[in-house]
Amino acid sequence: MSRARCHLRAALFLAAVSPRGATTGVAARRGLSAWPAPREPGMEYQVSSSPAAGCAMTREPGLSHLDAVRTLNTLQTNANYLEQVKRQRGDPQTQLEAMELYLARSGLQVEDLDQLNIIHITGTKGKGSTCAFTERILRNYGLKTGFFSSPHLVQVRERIRINGQPISPELFTKHFWHLYNRLEETKGDSSCVSMPGYFRFLTLMAFHVFLQEKVDLAVMEVGIGGAYDCTNIIRKPVVCGVSSLGIDHTGLLGETMEKIAWQKGGIFKCGVPAFTVLQPDGPLAVLRDRAQQISCPLYLCPPLEALEEGGPPLTLGLEGEHQQSNAALALQLARCWLQRKDHQGIGELKVSRPSLLGQLPLAPVFQPTSHMQHGLRDTEWLGRTQLLRRGPLTWYLDGAHTTGSMQACVRWFRQALHRRERPGSSGSEVRVLLFNSTGDRDSAALLKLLQPCQFDYAVFCPNLTEMSSVDNADQQNFTVTLDQVLLRCLTHQQHWSHLREEQASPDLWSTPSPEPGGPTSLLVVPHPPHSTSSLVFSCISHALQWISQGRDPVFQLPSPPRGLLAHPVASSGAIILQEAAAIHVLVTGSLHLVGGVLKLLEPSLSQ
């Protein structure tokens, strides 16, 4: 093991960087084999199984909810095995075939899924929000809804919802052991692969829950991509949707938006209506061609403003201008579902407009019904443009992790700050960034987009809620090592330091380049260089203790750990935070990080 890696494993507790980028480690930390972090969605579709998911699982399962979650965690792919599979990845089509075999072993056939009246949604940015809007609208019609999403923020039960609520611990436990035991009983004698991976298992479990609970419809969010995602064994959805496209998961989906669009368009089905929002020309053409090849009617959603004309303005439960695109898509998906299922009250049609650029026909322009209006207004989706106001602290939570979504996050954050400005108000205000980024994402590009927010402090930590993984089974993650996440945090810190140095040079100030084909309306305007100190903490809890300084009335811990203020930046910053009239904290870069923060700031989410 290298000297740097030994240093990390033995000594990293708190690191701080000077303006020149020198790092200092303080106090000791213990090595951990696993730590809390919500699972990356869809990761398992690229692998057959982890070693732990095969013949090594011989013990008799328990019956408690905690035992169920811990056993589910054994289906995660360990870090070393995952790296090996990435290098040796085979035909992705075999992954769908394997998923169908798992489905059959669980006691279902693909045809059984037709009963669920599925709305299948993919995209790079906003697919989860689109799902949330769609589910809430249809629930307002008195329909019993199922909703499968990923990743979870605090508890794994969040991924499978009935009527907008995570299934109960009792229902989760019942269905988990039923499916687990069924798969154990049907494994072949000569096969070591008895269990699907983590995400596959939960997808199978969602199908069983929704069928057993007799939902009227199921909103299914794709994990990663579309064509080879394990949710794509669905053969007859009622309607499909594609939210905004961008660059993400390039190791799996391709490095261009056109290649990513090809993957997303893989959920289209013959004769099944599909809707998408305005995309760059190249990816939009790919979606159009994919739809035409299989005779899928694909429509372009008109902007939300077109649906508001002649009626009351639409209020969205989710903040941020980018949510308008997601809401427009959700309205079309909900209306199409209602129309295909012969429901009444689906909205009066308005005069149709010509299609944009001639690439796709425009979806209907209609007057949203009161059910639709209230559904959009009442939608909640934690961890996305979410505000928590706690005394002098305001927490801004957004799991943005692509360049496009980060541009939208920055715009939302700055607009929210502007709305809260009070002329003549006294007292200092402090802006703090809490950031982490995972996977193959370009953290330097994300951090560059955050520069105009003029943070006083930038704080980095791994997606580790507490130093101990006890009582955090819902958030354990075995897919990366401790060394990897700590080194990554130090890399984030170095990127931030270099960006601050670059900003000191006036000839480097220019308007940021937009994401290829992205909306120019989300670009941020640079501000003069602003001095920022940065810190690295070993877990989310320590980071929040330093940021809040005991001033958050909900997040109260007995005493800070020894050494928390050992570095001069931490000790001097603590005084500033204690005396500030207002503290604005943006938590972003990873939904996993946001989930860990919510677990600590909102204890009720763990109940």
Least reliable range by pLDDT among 38-42, 369-373, 394-398? 38-42
Given this model, what pLDDT does residue 50 score? Answer: 39
Given this model, what pLDDT does residue 576 score? Answer: 96
CA distances from 127 to 238, 270, 347 (A): 17, 22, 23
For residues 437 and 488, the answer to whether their CB atoms sit within 8 Å is: yes
Report the pLDDT averaged over residues 153-166: 97
H or E segment at 305? helix 304-308
Q: Write out pLDDT tens, residues 374-391.
A: 999 999 999 999 999 999
Alpha-carbon distance of 201 to 46, in angstroms, equals 14
369 φ/ψ sector (left φ>0, alpha ψ -120 to 50, else beta): beta
Least reliable range by pLDDT among 14-28, 282-296, 552-566? 14-28
Residues contacting residue 2 through CB under 8 Å, at least 6 positions apart: none
More confident residue, 225 or 192: 225
Given this model, what pLDDT does residue 67 score? Answer: 94
SS3 212: helix
Alpha-carbon distance of 158 to 172, in angstroms, equals 10
More confident residue, 518 or 325: 325
Alpha-carbon distance of 364 to 297, in angstroms, equals 13
Tokens of 451: 């520069």
Given this model, what pLDDT does residue 468 score? Answer: 67
Given this model, what pLDDT does residue 23 score? Answer: 35
Alpha-carbon distance of 85 to 47, in angstroms, equals 6
Alpha-carbon distance of 2 to 486, in angstroms, equals 14
User: For residue 33, is pLDDT > 60?
Assistant: no
Residue 201's CB is within 10 A of a number of other CB atoms, namely 23
Given this model, what pLDDT does residue 252 score? Answer: 75
State pTM to two decimals. Answer: 0.83
User: For residue 59, is pLDDT > 90?
Assistant: no
* 370 CB burial (10 A radius; 0-12, 13-18, 19+): exposed
Alpha-carbon distance of 528 to 506, in angstroms, equals 9
- Side chain identity at 120, as an amino acid letter? H
Q: Write out pLDDT tens, residues 106-123.
A: 999 999 999 999 999 999
For residues 243 and 122, the answer to whether their CB atoms sit within 8 Å is: yes
Given this model, what pLDDT does residue 95 score? Answer: 85
User: What's the pLDDT band for 597 if we cut at 50, 70, 90?
Assistant: very high
Tokens of 520: 């120019």
8-state DSSP, 75 = T
User: What's the pLDDT band for 9 if we cut at 50, 70, 90?
Assistant: very low
Helices 568-579 and 540-548 pack at an angle, to 10 degrees, of: 50
Q: Write out pLDDT tens, residues 299-345.
A: 999 999 999 998 889 999 999 999 999 999 999 999 999 999 999 88
The top-scoring range by mean pLDDT among 202-206, 317-321, 517-521, 562-566 is 202-206
